[in-house]
Amino acid sequence: MSKREFQTEVSQLLQLIIHSLYSHPEIFLRELISNSSDALDKLRHLTLVDDTYKALPFTPRIDLELDEEKGTLTIADTGIGMNEEDLVSHLGTIARSGTKNFLAQLSGDAKKDSNLIGQFGVGFYSAFMVADRIEVVSRKAGEEQAWRWVSDGKTGFEIEPAERSVAGTTILLHFNEEGKQYANSWRLREIVKKYSNHIAFPIFLTYDKSEWNEAEKKSEKVRTTEQVNAASALWRRPKNELTDEDYKELYKSISGDSQDPLFWFHTRAEGTLDYTTLFYIPAKAPLDLYQAEYKVGVKLYVKRVFIMDDARELLPQYLRFVRGIIDSEDLPLNVSREILQQNRVLTSIRTASVKKILSELKNVASSQPEKYLEFITQYNRPLKEGLYSDYANRETLLDLIRFKTTKADGLTSLAEIKSRMKEGQKSIYYITGGSESLLRTSPLLEIYKKKDLEVLILDDDVDEIVFSGVDKYGDIDLKAVNKASTGDDLKDEAEPETDKAEALKPLLDKLKATLGDRVKDVRASVRLADSPSCIVSDEDDPSLQMQQMLRAMGQ
């Protein structure tokens, strides 16, 4: 038997998991079952596409076996399994770099933190919340030798050869004080239903059932095995057979989120292409939304067979907060990542899915404004990224995005702002380049205030870059106030009268000489009402903020 130490990050993580997720430990079962389900998906996929696995016996199932007396539970699957190397690397190190972010984001609030755990893929270790000893016996499909991995979750683990009759993984938990409450068949059934009801494989529970023995007039224990989940690809059932509860349950089981989603869009397309999509919008933006390593939220299935859950091609990046399922009838089962990138079928599904999501969002905006507000407070910023990257849907995105403005509290749509435009007004104006309070008090706004023109306050860090590329909303020009040319609506005031300009010339020359290379020009302007001076950019030059941002991006 060989003894190994955990990677430092693993020990650190275990400490945090055990101590901070204390009040929500039942998720350990969801995590272990989802690992089993992943392992079954992987093997099923291989048996369908790879000749070396086609001949292997494969009866996909997950078995929970409870021993109340000993206080143990096993979770066994007939999935892909792990060999010695896999056990060491999967259950002893943290490969995912996102996990470092996980460590940084733990808040100490047990409820919030337990939500994080599913998102960052530290799932397996959560079992140490309820067990003081875990034994994993696993045999990899296609290999003869099985291996046993044993750990107390403290310093490290031991690994040794073992036996297992078929490929798969068995996880034996020795419950600790905290875990004892789960050595109960009712409790286990309840947790499986709550989190794992729609796992595509049957989950069986074996336990000692109390039965009344009429002859002996007493109850006795009978070892019983029952299936405890529905095990159906729910998204393939017709909408009218599904309840809100069904949808919410499926969402929780695929997303790892414990909150209900804000809303969902379920579509079945038939015709040139056959596919089903079910998209969910999480109530709260995923915590890794702004990380380059964000976890993909949409799973790809082909004819109900799971294919992959980390394909960034399924939806454009700006919709990375969407969770759900794409199930296609037309893709080949052995579709690879490389094929996906330029696959005609997937491109069509993706284009249609984006259109669908955006148009459904538009429906929500008009039919349920309050719901929409909840949505937009979470996702305004990723939608803005879409303005930059999704030219084809720019008009729709402009209608979906909401804005702060000088004329209203809260958030306003461009349609509303358009309807408030003054008689004869030609453009909609916006200001970028700082915090909201800085922008609202900017001297650049003085003239607009004076002329009663509404100005959008764009204070997101992406606004500068995004909106410099958007020059129209429908047939109306969008114009930045911090550019030298002020737009038609101010034209009558853009140039000071000639005699005043003459009078100011000596002063301007002196200022220019003093400032030297630091400025391009010093001009007289009437755009200020109360302040003596301000800095603006030339029409075609990047603004100050943008120059800083481009520098930060290494441009």
Give me the residues that bind ligand ADP (CB under 6 A), please. 31, 35-36, 39, 77, 79-82, 90-91, 121-124, 169
Nearest to 285 by CA among 355, 382, 215: 382
Question: Would you give the binding string for Mg ion spanning residues 29-68, x where CB under 5 A is met?
Answer: ------x---------------------------------
Q: How is residue 154 written in tokens?
A: 């403290």
To Mg ion, the closest distance from the beta carbon of 165 in angstroms equals 25
Q: Is 81 annotated as a binding residue?
A: no
Whichever of 28 and 175 has its CB closer to ligand ADP, that residue is 28
Q: How is residue 412 written in tokens?
A: 């306003």
Binding Mg ion (rule: CB under 5 A), the pick from 79, 98, 123, 297 is 123
Nearest to 162 by CA among 181, 149, 175: 149
User: What's the length of the chain?
Assistant: 555
Q: Is 487 annotated as a binding residue?
A: no
Distance CA 473, CA 411 (A): 17
To ligand ADP, the closest distance from the beta carbon of 201 in angstroms equals 12
Query: Could you say which DSSP state residue 6 is in?
Result: P
Q: Which residues, other chains included, contact 132 with Cβ-Cβ below 8 Å and sequence gap of 6+?
A: 152, 153, 174, 175, 176
Segment (H or E) for 208: strand 203-213
End-to-end CA distance of the chain: 55
Q: How many CB atoms lie within 10 A of CB 305?
A: 16
Burial class (CB in 10 A: 0-12, 13-18, 19+), 71: middle
Whichever of 36 and 185 has its CB closer to ligand ADP, that residue is 36
Q: Is 31 annotated as a binding residue?
A: yes
Q: Is 337 annotated as a binding residue?
A: yes
The crossing angle, in degrees rounded to 10, of helices 27-49 and 185-196 is 60
Whichever of 35 and 277 has its CB closer to Mg ion, that residue is 35
> Of Mg ion, ligand ADP, none, which one sits near residue 36, judging by CB under 5 to 8 A according to partner kind?
ligand ADP
The owner of tokens 């050595």 is: 183
Judged by CB under 5 A, how many residues of this single chain contact Mg ion?
2
Q: Is 124 annotated as a binding residue?
A: yes
HEC readout, 441-471? CCHHHHHHHHCCCCEEEECCCCHHHHHHCCC
316 touching Mg ion, by CB under 5 A: no
Q: Is 123 annotated as a binding residue?
A: yes
Beta bridge partners of 427: 477
Residues 425/426/430/431 CA torsion (nearest 10 deg): -90
Whichever of 20 and 35 has its CB closer to Mg ion, that residue is 35
To ligand ADP, the closest distance from the beta carbon of 123 in angstroms equals 3
Whichever of 141 and 481 has its CB closer to ligand ADP, that residue is 141
> Of ligand ADP, Mg ion, none, which one sits near residue 90, judging by CB under 5 to 8 A according to partner kind?
ligand ADP
Task: Identify which range of 115-123, 150-158, 378-386, 457-465 contacts Mg ion by CB under 5 A.
Answer: 115-123
537 touching Mg ion, by CB under 5 A: no
To ligand ADP, the closest distance from the beta carbon of 310 in angstroms equals 10
> Of ligand ADP, Mg ion, none, which one sits near residue 169, judging by CB under 5 to 8 A according to partner kind?
ligand ADP
Whichever of 39 and 250 has its CB closer to ligand ADP, that residue is 39
> Of Mg ion, ligand ADP, none, which one sits near residue 79, judging by CB under 5 to 8 A according to partner kind?
ligand ADP
> Of ligand ADP, Mg ion, none, which one sits near residue 340, judging by CB under 5 to 8 A according to partner kind?
none
To ligand ADP, the closest distance from the beta carbon of 407 in angstroms equals 48
To ligand ADP, the closest distance from the beta carbon of 5 in angstroms equals 18
Report in angstroms the alpha-carbon separations of 478 from 441, 473, 525: 21, 7, 21
To ligand ADP, the closest distance from the beta carbon of 464 in angstroms equals 36
The crossing angle, in degrees rounded to 10, of helices 110-120 and 27-49 is 10
Q: Which residues, other chains included, contact 423 with Cβ-Cβ below 8 Å and sequence gap of 6+?
A: none
Task: Identify which range of 71-79, 98-106, 117-125, 313-321 contacts Mg ion by CB under 5 A.
Answer: 117-125
Whichever of 123 and 179 has its CB closer to ligand ADP, that residue is 123
The answer to whether the CB of 148 falls within 8 A of the CB of 161 is yes
256 touching Mg ion, by CB under 5 A: no
The DSSP code sequence of 356-384 is HHHHHHHHHHHH-HHHHHHHHHHHHHHHH
Residue nearest to Mg ion (CB): 123
Tell me the binding residues.
31, 35, 77, 82, 97-98, 119-124, 169, 337
Applying CB under 5 A, the residues found at the interface with Mg ion are 35, 123
Tell me the binding residues for ATP.
31, 35, 77, 82, 97-98, 119-124, 169, 337
